[in-house]
Amino acid sequence: MATVNSLSLGTRLAWTVRQALRAARRNWTAMAVIFLLAALLAAAAGSWQLVQHQHARMLRAQALVISNLNPVRVPVEVDAVQDLVGFQKVLPLHEDIPNSLRDLIVLAQTHRLALAKGDYKSQVDANGQFFQYSMTFPVQGDAQSIERFILAALAQHKTLALESVQFKRDRIESKELEAKIQWTLFTQLPAAGFRS
């Protein structure tokens, strides 16, 4: 229907312009000039409306294509209690902390790292019902050995989190680094009557 309207508008506009030109040729009076200017204004307004209509159709088509590409996703409601129960099932026993520490020390020695005395701190998360065992391990060795040690430790202990690593080098040309590695090991709560 828009095409028919634009054609009839174009036909009428062309007829009006032709009539105005004929009148202007016959008699260049003030009335003919006014008629010609009115016809030109009408032509400009008609073409502007046509361009706006086509632009609006193009925007609607683009919006339709985009809406088909990116369907609206309704967020899935997460059951936090169920997630927490699943997390707690993965946690090792609290009593396994000494074994995990021994594994980390052996792993550091396997990667030829010198391990200094570490700092340890424990904390109970009452809301989450789990235990956090924070450790700081100062180690010395080359950068690749330290990196391999960290990756192997994380692969071996699924509930071990790397909190931070700080590097220190005595001289720029030195291959030896000192690294202060901070870990957190997550475990189940201690059994009743257990003393840490």
Q: What digits encode the pLDDT tens for the residues 104-117? A: 989 999 999 988 88
Q: For residue 102, what is the domain's CATH number?
A: 3.30.70.60
77-113 pLDDT tens trace: 567 767 777 777 888 888 998 999 999 989 999 999 9
Q: Are 21 and 89 part of one and the same domain?
A: no
As a whole-number percent, the residues of the chain with pLDDT over 70 amount to 71
Q: Are 14 and 53 part of one and the same domain?
A: yes
Give the pLDDT mean for 178-188: 91
At residue 29 the predicted structure's pLDDT band, cuts being 50, 70 and 90, is: low
The answer to whether 186 and 157 have CB atoms below 8 angstroms apart is no
Q: How far apart are CA 137 and CA 160, in angstroms?
A: 13
Q: Is 143 part of a structural domain of the chain?
A: yes
Domain of residue 139 covers 81-187
The one-letter amino acid at 96: D
